[in-house]
Amino acid sequence: MPEALRKKKRMTSFQGVILGFAAIILLGACLLMLPLSSRMGTPASFSDALFTSTSAVCVTGLVVRDTASYWSAFGQAVILILIQIGGLGVVTVAASLALLSGRKISLLQRSAMQEAVAAPKVGGIVRLTGFILRATFAMELLGALAMLPVFWSEFGPGGIWRAVFHSVSAFCNAGFDLMGSAGREFVSLTGRAGDPLVNVVVMLLIIVGGIGFLTWDDVRSNGLRLKRYRMQSKVILAMTGILIAVPALYFYFFEFAELPRGERMLSALFQAVTPRTAGFNTQDLTAVSSRGQGVLIALMLIGGSPGSTAGGMKTTTVAVLVANVLAVFQRREDARLFDRRIEDRAVRTAATVLVMYLALFYFGALAISAVENLPMGACLFETASAVGTVGLTLGITPGLGLSSRCVLIALMFLGRAGGLTLIYAALSEGNRSASRYPQERITIG
């Protein structure tokens, strides 16, 4: 295939991802505006419906209406379907439907599927997609069955729906919950802080959903033979372990000293896992110190891993940047990870992603703070949660005005679709030039 044609198809695949996300969000908003979607039987406002649909498709979890007390069973079902589509990816879901209908998958569709799951090549992408679907539904089913006894004992037959909803929400790193009630809204899992079963199951679902589909494939193919894993899988597993262990130690020793030891351990571990990027919480985050909130913001911005249900900058981005810093300190030409050299393009892309996320995070908070006259710290927490598609909140989101909600909607969309995807979709490959300007040195640092 000629290079120009290949790149044209590549750009079209990026545009398909963007348009797919936007179409599903608008469809979801329309369904949530139906009278049967709310418990009161009155249509939700367009801003409430659009915000909720965006949060569900972008697997964020920020809400302006309590999911359990405001939305009806139909509305909750719509939200759950949007979460599932958003977690798997619009392209993956569309390709799966095509496979089930017996249609042939075109090269363009395979290219879009490759981008959606961050696969290194187009070859074998249909097989990988089938594995992703089977593994996803199996994990969600196991999670629901594990939590069912707890929810059944409290809610009776209604506990089945709650077990399924929370399992899918956790695996897709969405953070939506059904634990609120009239007069006790937006509580997340704070009533389950001392429940080992719910805590452990939700954490495992978040971690498995956030490590990425290719890492699953490595685990399935190679088991415990870590040397055979792709370098990317090794980086993801190492970064995941570090980003859970270190914050958990911080929260245990500096934030939850008043809790009994068992609940303290669970709370520390849960609050270390959930910012990347699930949005559940078992403790009141407004009671966490400003230092602790700073740790949460950093974790929210980092997010999960490529080709997963999670958002954020991604663990691999941070790993590449750290490797590059170490290379500069050691005066080496190349960044290295697990005895492999990192290409310069990956380092430049990682730096670009970092700058984009920091800019969106900061200027989004600045805009909300100016419009709503709220403290900058609280606004930074909300924008980090939105752009990282997390869903944790200090409680200011439900009271925001229309313009501030629009800022968060944009951040959620950018965070899930990916800033680089939007740029690649908007810019034409034909604008690139083969000519190069003269080089001149500039002093850094």
Structure tokens at 409: 């909607």
Two tokens at 15? 């545009």
CB 132 within 8 A of CB 215: no
Which pLDDT belongs to residue 108? Answer: 59
DSSP count for the chain of H helices, then E strands: 18, 2
pLDDT of 416: 81
333: in domain = yes
CA distance linking residue 17 with residue 15, whole number of Å: 5
Cα gap 240→261, rounded to integer Å: 24
SS3 336: strand
Give the DSSP letter string of 31-56. Answer: HHTSGGGBTTSSPPPHHHHHHHHHHH
In a domain, residue 431? The reply is no
C-alpha to C-alpha distance for 97 and 15, rounded to whole angstroms: 20
Q: Count Cβ atoms within 10 A of the Cβ of residue 339 and give its class: 0-12 exposed, 13-18 middle, 19 or more buried.
A: exposed
User: Is there a domain that residue 432 lies in?
Assistant: no
CB 118 within 8 A of CB 214: yes
Residues 6+ apart with CB under 8 A from 354: 313, 317, 321
Task: Answer whether the bond into residue 277 is a cis peptide, omega within 30°.
Answer: yes
Residue type, 340: R
pLDDT at 105: 61
pLDDT of residue 301: 93
Instruction: Note whether residue 441 is domain-resident.
Output: no
d(C-alpha 329, C-alpha 258), whole Å: 42
Residues 6+ apart with CB under 8 A from 25: 50, 53, 54, 57, 58, 413
* Whether the Cβ atoms of residue 309 and residue 87 lie closer than 8 Å to each other: yes
pLDDT digit string (tens) for the chain, length 445 residues? 444 444 444 445 566 667 778 889 999 999 999 999 999 999 999 999 999 999 999 989 999 999 999 999 999 999 999 999 988 876 566 666 656 656 666 655 666 666 655 656 655 667 777 788 888 899 999 999 999 999 999 999 999 999 999 999 999 999 899 998 777 889 999 988 989 999 999 999 999 998 888 888 888 888 888 888 889 999 999 999 999 999 999 999 999 988 999 999 999 999 999 998 788 999 999 999 999 999 999 999 998 888 787 888 899 999 999 999 999 999 888 899 998 899 998 899 899 889 999 999 999 999 999 999 999 999 999 999 999 999 999 989 999 999 999 999 999 988 887 655 655 555 555 555 556 778 787 777 6
Question: How many domains, the chain?
Answer: 1
Nearest to 282 by CA among 270, 292, 300, 264: 270
Environment class of 321 (CB within 10 Å of its CB; exposed 0-12, middle 13-18, buried 19+) = middle
> Is residue 183 helix, strand or coil?
coil
Instruction: For the beta carbon of residue 290, count every other beta carbon within 10 angstroms.
Output: 7
Q: Which residue has the tokens 């599927």?
A: 113
Q: Say if 445 falls within a structural domain.
A: no
**Is 436 inside any structural domain?**
no
Phi and psi at 357, nearest 5°, equal -65, -40
The pLDDT score that the predictor gives to residue 94 is 61
pLDDT at position 8, please?
45
Q: Which domain holds residue 323?
A: 3-426
Torsion sign, CA atoms 417, 420, 423, 429: negative
pLDDT value at position 2?
Answer: 46
Position 319 in a domain:
yes
Q: Report DSSP state, residue 188.
A: T
For residue 18, being part of any structural domain is answered with yes
Which residue shows structure tokens 């070859």? 123
The per-residue b/e assignment along 85-119, b for 16 or more CB within 10 angstroms, e otherwise, is bbbbbbbbbbbbeeeeeeeeeeeebbbbbbbbbbb
Total residue count of the chain as it appears in this document: 445
Quote the crossing angle between the two packed helices 46-57 and 3-32, to the nearest 10°: 130
CB 337 within 8 A of CB 330: no
